[in-house]
Amino acid sequence: MLANGATLRDYRSSLLSLVEASPSPSSISPDITKPRSEAIIGTTRSPYAQPNPPVTGGPTAIVDITSPSSGSAFSNNMGLIVAGIVVAISLCALAILVVHRRRRHTAAKPPPPVDFSVYHPVQDDMHPRSNPSRAKKRRPPVPTTPDQVELDATMAKLDVVRIDHRELIRDRLLGSGAFGEVWLATYRGRLVAVKSALLGRHPQNRLSDVQHLVDEIGLMSVFRSPYVVGLVGASWKRVGDLTCVMEYMDQGDLRDKLDATSFDTFTWPDKAQCMLSIVEGLVYVHSFDIIHRDLKSRNVLLDSTHGTKLTDFGIAREDTQDTMTMGVGTYRWMAPELLQDSHYTVAADMYSFGVLVSELDTHCIPYSDQANARGKPLADTTIMAQVMRGTLAPTFSTKCPEWVRDLGLRCVAHDPANRPTAMQVSLLLRQQIKALSYPI
């Protein structure tokens, strides 16, 4: 106990000596260089205050406002807060950067191609709208060209005469040529002739072939004449399947008729009626300023009920200043101006009619009786050259009526201005038929 008491007295004595050794208030001046952590609260006195009474007992409390332990904790807390803020800002910046890059990548990436055949397939039994997987396998469309655009616009005009292809039942092939074929078919219980184009291999040629058939259908849709084969309609699943559906003529064409008959079985009264029907067809067509350009015996059809009619307007054109490419049509019936590829008018059809008159007389193909110096048939080039020069014309038999020969020769005059018109020939034929007491 004494030891403890001595120790306590020693501690108090030391503390009092420290207080007494402290500087007086008047000697205290602020030291801006001294850290605030060393300031002792309670030892600084105001110069205007009265002196404190002397300390008489107990130790004086000394308070250090910035003890080492409290300062270290505060510094650690502040560091954590700052670090957290920095991390949060960094994460936000990183997220913004990622989103921005994704948006730029999406904008730069082109959209996937759209297969329009899936959304707008052909609606028929081969391409139902409910089967998009099949539509995707369809070949891509032909690149759009000015000709394709024109064809599409023309095809749209055929909608008014379009018939359902599923109602056409084909029976047999009636005939075929270099550019097309004709089938016998049934449409709603009626016999019809179905004409289709034989498409070329080159895409541009296919477009041209289809365009010719489209033009023919469009032209026939305007005609309403008992002397022109009537149009029933147009049918197609795709553009390349386009067909022209026409009335069926049950006796075939005039060329077959001439081959199957003789002078005795196909007499002039019947031939005169046939000639009148042909020229009446020309009168009607020419009233539209349309030139047939391919009038020949194969393009004159016969029927037991409906008589004689013109057909095949595939290369018919409006009467303009246009010229014609060499080789279009059948040259043995073609006028010199057509062979020369020069300007032509409806008079070109009258030349072809004159050739037809000679064909009705002889029952033979034009110029088949012509031979060269060696007795061989004339070559095609020789015939064309002589027709263009005016040194060769169709011939007539000795049995041909004079008025028929005269009419034929007038029609095949080399100068188009010297040929009669279709109306003039129609009047002449009616007069001759009346004079011969042939029924009209």
Q: Which residue numbers are catalytic? A: 294
Q: Beta strand 317-318 with 190-197: parallel, antiparallel or unpaired?
A: unpaired
The structure tokens listed for 117 are 């055949």
Helix (H) or strand (E) holding 20: helix 2-20
Q: Which residue has the tokens 């291999």?
A: 201
Tell me the three-class secondary structure of 237-296, residue by residue: CCHHHCEEEEECCCCCEHHHHHHHCCCCCCCHHHHHHHHHHHHHHHHHHHCCCEECCCCC
d(CA 125, CA 245): 20
Measured torsion, CA atoms of residues 84, 85, 86, 92, in degrees rounded to the nearest 10:
110
d(CA 440, CA 424): 17
The sign of the torsion formed by the CA atoms of 405, 408, 414, 416 equals positive
| Residue 109 counted as an annotated binding residue | no
Provide, for the chain, the percentages of residues in helix, strand and coil under a 3-state DSSP scheme, each rounded to the nearest 5: 45, 10, 40
Binding-site entries for ATP: 195
Binding-site entries: 195
